[in-house]
């Protein structure tokens, strides 16, 4: 088993397992969208995804060892 490290920025942090940073166990290749759905987090909450320093889509593949930053809206309304 390997882990992907997620860092969350923005007000939607409350929907994630940890308010700022968490690790998620993965086997093989998956996507950010799949992880969000598994966690019960609506993918529409995520404005931008950055994987290993590069902007990607929710459907780009991720594997163990990746560092993923999720940017959510800064404020509601």
Burial (CB count within 10 angstroms: exposed 0-12, middle 13-18, buried 19+), residue 27: exposed
Domain count, the chain: 1
Which residue pairs from 44-48 have beta carbons closer than 8 angstroms and sit at least 24 positions apart in sequence? 45/12, 45/15, 45/72, 45/73, 46/12, 46/70, 46/71, 46/72, 47/10, 47/71, 47/72, 47/73
pLDDT digits 0-9 by tens, 18-76: 778 999 999 888 999 999 999 999 999 999 999 999 999 999 999 999 999 999 887 65
CATH of the domain at 15: 3.10.20.30
Q: Which one has a higher pLDDT value, 15 or 59?
A: 59
Q: Is residue 23 part of a domain?
A: yes
> Is 6 contained in some domain?
yes
Give the residue numbers spanning the domain of 56.
2-71
Does residue 77 lie within any of the structural domains?
no
Any domain includes 51? yes
pLDDT of residue 75: 67
Q: What is the pLDDT of residue 56?
A: 98
Whether this model's pTM surpasses 0.85? yes
């Amino acid at each position: 088993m390997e882990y992907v490290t997620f860092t969350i920025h923005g007000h939607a942090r409350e929907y994630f397992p940890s308010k700022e940073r968490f690790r998620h166990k993965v086997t093989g290749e998956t996507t950010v969208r799949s992880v969000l759905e598994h966690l019960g987090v609506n993918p529409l909450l995520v404005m931008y995804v950055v994987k290993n320093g590069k902007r990607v889509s929710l459907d780009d593949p991720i594997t163990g060892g990746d560092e993923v930053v999720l940017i959510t809206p800064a404020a509601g309304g």
